[in-house]
Amino acid sequence: MLYNFFRCAVVFFVRIVFSISKEKKEFFRKRENQKFDDLKKDDYIWIHCASVGEINLSEPLVKKLLEKKKEKILITCITDAGMKLSEHKYSKYENIKLKYFPLDNKKEIEKIIDKFNSCLLLLIETELWPNLITCVNNMKLSKIALVNGRISDRSFNRYKKIKFLLKNVLNKIDWFYMQSQEDCNRIIHLGAKKENVIRFGNLKFDIAFDNFNKIDI
């Protein structure tokens, strides 16, 4: 797969650059050498956030999932600041597990989903990671939703250049809950199926959970 070849090349180059810094080497260690023994075999809702902004944004949704769903919840993020905030918000909840996102490392993602009987993957905003989406999509009992989706002018121009690659990834996502009509139009232009795209608004304003009327495993 072209994407995985490119990803490995980028990671290899970045590791060499980061090797001069102990702190930066630790960045990779935390994300690609995690233990998953605390993930018990069960049904999971996996919520993936990039950093602090998405952690804050998704909090009302997480709280409502705790109230209305029986599945365990896994929250992943990329940054140390995001992890610190996640621990502050959710460490007291037995039903929530927190992990660093393993930088779209296919083998590490497979270790995670090996713990899942079923998975509902919620990608907050525009976290389009091909290996994550493909691995979850390959599960027998799985659904994927992009939540609070948005595509800025800058991102749209970049995505259009790789539209031929992006379409295959987008076709593996079951629902797109987008912030505006412009965001809907853009994700459809990039390859999402029109019938799977929903203009939803912004999670920032605590939209009712019941509006996610299709989200289920």
Q: Residues of the chain with pLDDT > 90: what percent?
A: 73
Question: Is 215 a residue whose pLDDT tops 70?
Answer: no
- CA atoms within 13 Å, Cβ hemisphere of 61: 25
How would you class 184 by CB atoms within 10 Å of its CB: exposed for 0-12, middle for 13-18, buried for 19 or more?
Answer: buried
The runs of H, that is alpha helices, within 19-152 are: 22-32, 52-68, 80-90, 106-113, 130-137
- What pTM was estimated for this model as a whole? 0.92
Q: Which residues are registered as beta bridge partners of 199?
A: 178
Q: How confident is the model at residue 111 (pLDDT cuts 50, 70, 90)?
A: very high
Distance CA 103, CA 96 (A): 21
